[in-house]
């Protein structure tokens, strides 16, 4: 399918990107973040960032562990002051997943983080300083064998690039990223990942398309400062999901004004919706209307509560009327087509038995407990 080129209002024309095919992954070089491969043919990883004061080691490690339990692959930690830099040794030691040091303004904190054993350093080219400071960080990272993410944001572009383009554009983001890729190339440093984020979803999409078209560098996808959980989830799903559907993207981070676990949950669900990650429990329910004949709201709320944390890849459909219910329920691993206080239980498309409305939750929980996923090996 051909994806139309997005052109932001008042932008000069952009160079058209190639025609991407849904499901065809862009070929990139591969880098290792700790033990997590990014790029190449490796699975798309999910990242988050801690929201604690980094100097509070116990609180920071607590968020890292919770994120890891939710399925996070990589966690980024801000290193924004002396106390945060000093805490990195202990945080790295106690973390169950690779840690990325997030650096702004002070390259000394990057050097201290590298010595502490972080798995990657994220630098914002627009505020890290001169070429010599960047060289110093790159040399230290190269000696330790850790990658660098060149993290470009539309809100912190270098002054000369901003003056050249007039305002943040896709070309401006691309130019900023490639300027610093060039510095890496000077040192023979190839373990690079790029992000070109913006709060504007259209700008973010077009900037990533340019980098994808013109390089083989792995891409970290994200909509920066996406917002509260509701709005941020929508913006991230549109931006990240559009690119992933085009085969663009190697690791993702959903930015929300919420706990890291919530970011991980949304990120995992974006991947699952595109068939890019194995699914755990998937709950499907009808949107409800005047035909509803059971208390579907209460049933689904209770199912979400009781099935939270279950890791089995099982699809559950609960439908509240007889119009679409039988068809939808029969397509799920476990299904209920309900009406007038009773439900028909389906298992792998076969009718099993009738159950009372009051029994639906217990019956589904029992079915999940006994469910055996198919072995596709």
- Tell me the average pLDDT across 207-228: 93
CB 8 within 8 A of CB 14: no
Q: Which whole-number Å values give the CA distances from 140 to 83, 107, 187, 239, 272, in the listed order?
A: 21, 11, 11, 34, 37
Where are the domains positioned within the chain? 30-273, 282-370
Where are the strands (E) in the chain, listed by range? 30-33, 36-39, 45-49, 74-78, 99-103, 120-123, 148-153, 192-197, 220-221, 251-253, 282-285, 315-319, 334-339, 342-347, 350-356
Which is higher by pLDDT, 308 or 223?
223
Identify the pLDDT of residue 16. 40
Identify the pLDDT of residue 340. 85
Identify the pLDDT of residue 127. 63
- Indicate if the pLDDT at residue 99 is higher than 90: yes
- Tell me the average pLDDT across 132-158: 89
Identify the pLDDT of residue 325. 67
Percent share of the chain, pLDDT over 70: 90
Q: What is the pLDDT of residues 80-92, one digit of tens each?
A: 999 999 999 999 9
* 116 band by pLDDT with thresholds 50, 70 and 90: very high
Identify the pLDDT of residue 129. 66
Q: Enter the tokens of residue 194.
A: 């790029």
Instruction: Return the DSSP state at 320.
Output: -
Which is higher by pLDDT, 327 or 366?
366
- Tell me the average pLDDT across 229-247: 95
CB 253 within 8 A of CB 76: yes
* 324 band by pLDDT with thresholds 50, 70 and 90: low
Q: What share of the chain is helix, strand, coil (3-state, %, to 5)?
A: 40, 20, 40
Identify the pLDDT of residue 135. 86
Q: Enter the tokens of residue 70.
A: 């939710």
CB 308 within 8 A of CB 356: no
The CATH number that domain 30-273 falls under is: 3.20.20.20
Identify the pLDDT of residue 203. 96
- Indicate if the pLDDT at residue 3 is higher than 50: no
* 206 band by pLDDT with thresholds 50, 70 and 90: very high
* 156 band by pLDDT with thresholds 50, 70 and 90: confident
Which is higher by pLDDT, 18 or 268?
268
Which is higher by pLDDT, 106 or 213?
213
Superfamily name with CATH number, domain 282-370: Sulfite Reductase Hemoprotein, domain 1 (3.30.413.10)
- Tell me the average pLDDT across 105-109: 87
- Indicate if the pLDDT at residue 79 is higher than 70: yes
Identify the pLDDT of residue 284. 86
* 125 band by pLDDT with thresholds 50, 70 and 90: low
* 1 band by pLDDT with thresholds 50, 70 and 90: very low
Identify the pLDDT of residue 321. 74
Average pLDDT in the chain: 87
Identify the pLDDT of residue 50. 97
């Amino acid at each position: 399918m051909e994806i139309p080129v997005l052109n932001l209002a008042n932008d000069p024309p952009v160079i058209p990107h190639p025609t991407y095919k849904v499901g065809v992954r862009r070929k990139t070089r591969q880098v290792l973040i700790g033990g997590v491969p990014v790029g190449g043919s490796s699975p798309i990883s999910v990242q988050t960032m801690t929201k604690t004061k980094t100097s509070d080691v116990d609180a920071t490690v607590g968020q890292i562990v919770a994120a890891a339990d939710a399925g996070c692959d990589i966690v980024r930690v801000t290193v924004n002051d002396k106390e945060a830099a000093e805490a990195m040794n202990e945080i790295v030691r106690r973390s169950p997943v690779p840690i990325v040091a997030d650096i702004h303004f002070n390259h000394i904190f990057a050097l201290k983080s590298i010595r502490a054993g972080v798995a990657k350093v994220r630098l914002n080219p627009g505020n890290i300083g001169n070429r010599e400071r960047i060289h110093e960080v790159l040399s230290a990272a190269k000696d330790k064998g850790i990658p660098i993410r060149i993290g470009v944001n539309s809100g912190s572009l270098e002054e000369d690039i901003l003056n050249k383009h007039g305002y943040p554009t896709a070309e401006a983001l691309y130019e900023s990223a490639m300027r610093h890729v060039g510095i890496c190339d000077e040192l023979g440093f190839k373990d690079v990942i790029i992000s070109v984020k913006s709060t504007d979803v259209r700008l973010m999409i077009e900037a990533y398309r340019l980098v994808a078209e013109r390089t083989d560098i792995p891409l970290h996808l994200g909509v920066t400062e996406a917002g509260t959980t509701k709005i941020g989830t929508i913006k991230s799903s549109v931006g990240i999901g559009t690119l992933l559907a085009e085969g663009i993207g190697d690791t993702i981070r959903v930015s929300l004004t919420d706990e890291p676990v919530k970011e991980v949950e949304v990120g995992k669900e974006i991947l699952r919706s595109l068939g890019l990650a194995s699914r755990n429990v998937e709950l499907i329910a009808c949107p409800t209307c005047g035909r509803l004949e059971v208390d579907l709201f209460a049933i689904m709320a209770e199912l979400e509560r009781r099935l939270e944390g279950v890791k089995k890849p099982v699809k559950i459909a609960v439908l509240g009327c007889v119009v679409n219910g039988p068809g939808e329920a029969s397509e799920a691993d476990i299904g209920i087509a309900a009406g007038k206080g009773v439900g028909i239980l389906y298992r792998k498309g076969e009718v099993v038995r009738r159950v009372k409305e009051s029994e639906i939750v217990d019956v589904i929980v029992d079915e999940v407990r006994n469910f055996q996923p198919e072995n596709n090996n």
